[in-house]
Amino acid sequence: MLPKATPREELLINLRAAYARMWVRLRGSNREITGLVAEIGLPILTIGAYVILYRAIGLPPTAGAAVIIGGAMIAFWTNVLWNMSSQWFWERESGNLEMYLVAPVSRMSVLLGMAMGGSVNTSIRALGIVLLGIFVFQVPFQLADPLSIGLVFVLTLVALYTMGMLFASIFMLYGREAWNTANLLQEPVYFLSGAYFPRIYAPVVPFALQAAGSLIPMTIGLDAIRRLAINGEGIATVWPHILALIACTLILFPLARRALNYMESLGKKEGRLTLRWQ
């Protein structure tokens, strides 16, 4: 009779699918160069406004550096919110969801591929933002410990995109309402994360705001990267950040899986998965 797939075969299929989904993402968003230019150019304008403002009120040049890093990290948040979270939603609208559901791959690996594609893509843009920002605004950086910066950066992305994976399932189930919520979330998160502030965990920022901001892994990562790249602090001072980011991932990943399974079984039960706009 029908042989069951061995765990090795299973893993291979899922890795191939994840890779292919990542490839689609990269291929799709880098076909048009105008998109790339806009996605680097527009944030630079926002960043520029803050840098000039901070200079005008006499803050040290490090404040400008903080804003550049913040602006680069915001690119990831936008990507998670608009591309990752709405992934299933759009796949359903375009008739792709059925294709994914009928194939022998885990939906998690499709999401994983999407996350990998999204983070690589956004990294290119973020790097563009940072380089252009340094070039235009001449802000100082102190890269005492590049390896730690890399580590914190990767951990931040992992936590952030895991959050995106969780959002993807929620979005799909709640369709329009989730869409509106995301719309509502965008600006407050810009604010809460402190991306455009010189520092979020500073005594002048109210504690409630700090706490709310910390719910987003990006805030934690952002603060750690700023300490490492601007203040020249070492890994010793960002241990709590690293642990918090790992904890975020460990909590969010199973939640994302649960949400996805729940979404799938609910869809199969109620027949909602392949219906559009409800």
Ligand X SMILES: Nc1ncnc2c1ncn2[C@@H]1O[C@H](COP(=O)(O)OP(=O)(O)OP(=O)(O)O)[C@@H](O)[C@H]1O
Sites of contact with other proteins (CB under 8 A): 1-2, 4-5, 9, 12-14, 16-17, 19-21, 23-24, 27-28, 31, 94-96, 98-105, 268-271, 273-274
CA distance 76 to 58: 29
8 binds, among other proteins, ligand X, none (CB under 5 to 8 A by kind): none
Whose Cβ is closer to other proteins: residue 99's or residue 120's? Answer: 99
Nearest CA-CA partner of 169 in 242, 250, 251, 261: 261
28 binds, among other proteins, ligand X, none (CB under 5 to 8 A by kind): other proteins
In angstroms, the Cα distances linking 201 to 120, 159, 160, 207, 247 are 28, 19, 19, 9, 19
Shortest separation between residue 276's beta carbon and ligand X, angstroms: 11
Whose Cβ is closer to other proteins: residue 46's or residue 96's? Answer: 96
CA distance 174 to 267: 12
31 binds, among other proteins, ligand X, none (CB under 5 to 8 A by kind): other proteins
Residue 275 is a binding residue for ligand X (CB under 6 A) = yes
Whose Cβ is closer to ligand X: residue 27's or residue 268's? Answer: 268
Q: Are 8 and 99 in contact (CB under 8 A)?
A: no
Shortest separation between residue 272's beta carbon and ligand X, angstroms: 6
275 binds, among ligand X, other proteins, none (CB under 5 to 8 A by kind): ligand X
| Binding pattern for the stretch 242-271 against ligand X, x by CB under 6 A and - elsewhere | -----------------------------x
Shortest separation between residue 170's beta carbon and ligand X, angstroms: 20
* Interface with ligand X (CB under 6 A): 271, 275
